[in-house]
């Protein structure tokens, strides 16, 4: 992680360069949750009527991707992937705790006290939204807030490979977006689902904890369910899915056995299922899934994945050479094919990179392919591409025009 630097030293895009210190941002007008926002009747104006509001405003004003707050610590913003300190005093621990309590409903405060963490969605106003995790660390409260883009961007605007659009034409199967925390998985997922919303008359149902991107009905009907408000748990929400007559299902983060069982069952029964998973490559995603199941169940899960997997996409965000673009994704794309199915059934998932290389014309691409393409299009510095690569030497040789295959 980069060494902290005062926020005023950060080069900001126009008109942000002339902005004053974070401690005195322009106050946003207080408003109720936007029309169509989830559960406006059930929530307090979370974090928006306490002094915490100004830090969320600053995140919007400086176009930060993330806001980090902790009692006794100077507030920090993540800009272009780097964490930067604001030029304000550390937050008083007692005040910070009181502000959080004032911001939550009684039920939310009780859950936070019992579990030590809480995920919520926060509407700052009718345009700006955050995904917020409140958690305890060494007895103190902290907040990690991810700013959600008010508009769902297209594949082209996100600099994603055009081949991802073919995924939106599938009518059943499992699509997983893999990556580490903060790699833009949810954003890519929202882009693909929104594309379906714009082009296909169908029923889309999401189960999220919390809801991040807000979808408005276009050609599709979109129903979004938030765990803890619309459903008491992920398990209950997922169990009800097949009775809600969906065509397309979005399950947010898939992190346990029960979630994957529900996803695979939905895919088997004719639904197109989207989800995200923490993994460092498309092929590693298989191992992460198998590890959730006991040994005796893994052959059956492998067989289901071989036939129900439609696309596994791995991505990582890299800093760019363009001032107008903060970060750009390097993307590995593995699509269903006879060879893909064969390798999975034979337990050769670790060799799937060779399948990708042999099926580039079908829309697949390796992570190295993506890195080289980003450099060639002058979006990423060669040094950044090599640092992100599993095999830096391969990237270096490819950039020199030397084939490594």
Work out how many domains the chain is built from and give that number: 2
d(CA 182, CA 27): 28
Please indicate, yes or no, whether residues 186 and 290 belong to a single structural domain of this protein.
Answer: yes
Please indicate, yes or no, whether residues 240 and 170 belong to a single structural domain of this protein.
Answer: yes
Q: Is the pTM of this model over 0.85?
A: no
Long-range contacts, stretch 344-349, CB < 8 angstroms, 24+ apart:
344/286, 344/302, 344/305, 344/306, 344/309, 345/302, 345/303, 345/306, 347/302, 349/283, 349/286, 349/287
Q: What is the CATH number of the domain that holds 107?
A: 3.30.450.90
Please indicate, yes or no, whether residues 252 and 337 belong to a single structural domain of this protein.
Answer: yes
Instruction: Give me the percent of the chain exceeding a pLDDT of 70.
Output: 88
Average pLDDT over residues 337-355: 96
Higher pLDDT, 323 or 165: 165
Please indicate, yes or no, whether residues 167 and 139 belong to a single structural domain of this protein.
Answer: no
Please indicate, yes or no, whether residues 307 and 228 belong to a single structural domain of this protein.
Answer: yes
Please indicate, yes or no, whether residues 171 and 126 belong to a single structural domain of this protein.
Answer: no
Domain annotation covers residue 393: no
d(CA 115, CA 83): 27
Please indicate, yes or no, whether residues 358 and 315 belong to a single structural domain of this protein.
Answer: yes
Please indicate, yes or no, whether residues 212 and 83 belong to a single structural domain of this protein.
Answer: no
Residues sharing a CB contact under 8 Å with residue 62, sequence separation 6 or more, in sequence order:
7, 10, 12, 16, 19, 22, 77, 79
The yes-or-no verdict on residue 19 having pLDDT over 90 is no
pLDDT in tens, 49-108: 788 999 999 999 998 999 999 999 999 999 988 899 999 999 999 999 999 998 888 888
pLDDT band for position 23 (50/70/90)? very low
> Is-contact 220 204, C-beta < 8 A?
yes
The yes-or-no verdict on residue 37 having pLDDT over 70 is no
Average pLDDT over residues 280-291: 93
Strands (E), 180-236: 203-208, 221-226
Domain of residue 61 covers 7-148
Domain annotation covers residue 296: yes
pLDDT in tens, 175-213: 999 999 889 999 999 999 999 999 999 999 999 988 889
Question: Lowest-pLDDT range, 144-148, 155-159, 177-181, 240-244?
Answer: 240-244
Domain annotation covers residue 176: yes
């Amino acid at each position: 992680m980069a060494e902290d630097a005062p926020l005023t030293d950060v080069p900001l895009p126009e008109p942000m360069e002339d902005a004053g210190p974070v401690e005195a941002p322009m106050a946003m007008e207080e408003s109720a949750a936007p029309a169509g926002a989830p559960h406006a009747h059930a929530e307090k104006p979370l974090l928006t009527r306490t002094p915490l509001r100004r830090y969320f405003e600053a995140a919007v004003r400086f176009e930060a991707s993330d806001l980090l707050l902790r009692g006794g610590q100077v507030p920090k913003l993540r800009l272009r992937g780097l964490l930067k300190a604001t030029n304000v005093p550390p937050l008083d621990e007692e005040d910070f705790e009181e502000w959080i309590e004032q911001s939550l409903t009684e039920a939310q405060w009780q859950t936070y006290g019992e579990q030590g963490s809480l995920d919520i969605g926060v509407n700052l106003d009718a345009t700006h939204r955050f995904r917020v995790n409140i958690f305890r660390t060494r007895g103190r409260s902290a907040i990690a807030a991810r700013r959600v883009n008010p508009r769902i961007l297209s594949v082209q605007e996100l600099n994603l490979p055009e081949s991802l659009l073919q995924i939106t034409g599938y009518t059943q199967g499992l699509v997983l977006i893999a990556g580490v925390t903060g790699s833009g998985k949810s954003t890519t997922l929202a882009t693909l689902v929104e594309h379906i919303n714009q082009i296909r008359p169908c029923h889309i149902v999401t189960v999220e904890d919390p809801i991040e991107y807000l979808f408005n009905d276009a050609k599709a009907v979109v129903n979004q369910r938030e765990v803890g408000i619309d459903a008491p748990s992920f398990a209950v929400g997922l169990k009800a899915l097949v009775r809600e007559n969906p065509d397309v299902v979005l399950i947010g983060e898939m992190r346990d056995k029960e979630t994957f069982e529900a996803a695979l069952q939905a895919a088997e029964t004719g639904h197109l299922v989207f989800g995200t998973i923490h993994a460092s490559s498309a092929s590693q995603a298989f191992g992460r899934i198998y590890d959730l199941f006991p040994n005796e169940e893994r052959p059956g899960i492998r067989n289901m994945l071989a036939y129900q997997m439609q696309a596994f996409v791995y991505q990582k965000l890299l800093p760019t050479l363009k001032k107008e673009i903060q970060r750009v994704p390097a993307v590995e794309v593995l699509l269903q094919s006879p060879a893909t199915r064969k390798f999975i059934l034979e337990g050769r998932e670790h060799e799937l990179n060779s399948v990708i290389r042999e099926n580039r014309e079908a829309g697949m691409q390796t992570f190295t392919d993506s890195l080289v393409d980003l450099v060639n299009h002058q979006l990423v510095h060669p040094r950044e591409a090599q640092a992100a690569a599993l095999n830096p030497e391969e990237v270096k040789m490819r950039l020199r025009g030397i084939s490594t295959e």
